[in-house]
Amino acid sequence: MTAQAPLLVFDLDGTLVDSVPDIAAAVNRMLAARNLAPLSDPVVAAMVGDGLQPLIDRVFAAHGTTPDAGAALEYLHDYEANVAVDTVLFAGMADALRTLQESGWRLAVCTNKPENAARMLLDALGVAGLFTAIGGGDSFAARKPDPLHLRETVAAAGGSPSRALMVGDHRNDVQAAIGCAMPAIFAGWGYGRPGMEEGAAAICPTPADLPGIAARLLQPA
């Protein structure tokens, strides 16, 4: 019997794409509408990774206040309208994705970003068709670090945790993978901070190194 093709599941923001410029721009337009000072890209980058509402909560907490009822939806609509103005795939990522596919890997995305925004972004960047499933932060009953999010994304891609790897730049990615008994590859090029890699099976310094590390952890069919 032929072995099932392996699956590599990617986080999105900070792993596949450098999206903070567009996230911060939408955040700052929302803040300006409320006469609040803008936040820098590095400050916003440290707030990314847990989904929509935690991002909005942190943005307002930075100003010593709490968000109004319409803030999250206002931000999301603005962001979706400007989802790929300055967002790009990380350098070397396009070649890495192509190499992985040519080596027999299937690809999926598991992100805490709302699914529609994730799909819009991947489509705008011309890579949506590379992924067999996209599990957003609102796609299932839980989101990372809950392993259910990753497990359901793997299932939607027609895969099995025993033949899958997770790659991401946040502790949420590592913890979700551990909860699924899947190896995690920590994206060293992303937005992650020291300590977030704890528990990962490997730390990958650049996207160019990803195919080789993935092959060492899980042999293609």
Catalytic residues: 11
> What is the C-alpha separation between 20 and 45, in angstroms, rounded?
6
Q: Taking a C-beta distance cutoff of 8 angstroms, is the pair 164, 6 a contact?
A: yes
**Cis before 161? omega within 30:** no
Do residues 111 and 139 touch, judged by C-beta distance below 8 A? no
Question: What is the distance between the alpha carbons of residues 43 and 25, in angstroms, rounded to a whole number?
Answer: 12
List, in order, residues 6 or more apart from 167 with CB less than 8 Å away: 8, 9, 10, 11, 15, 173, 184, 185, 186, 187, 204, 210, 214
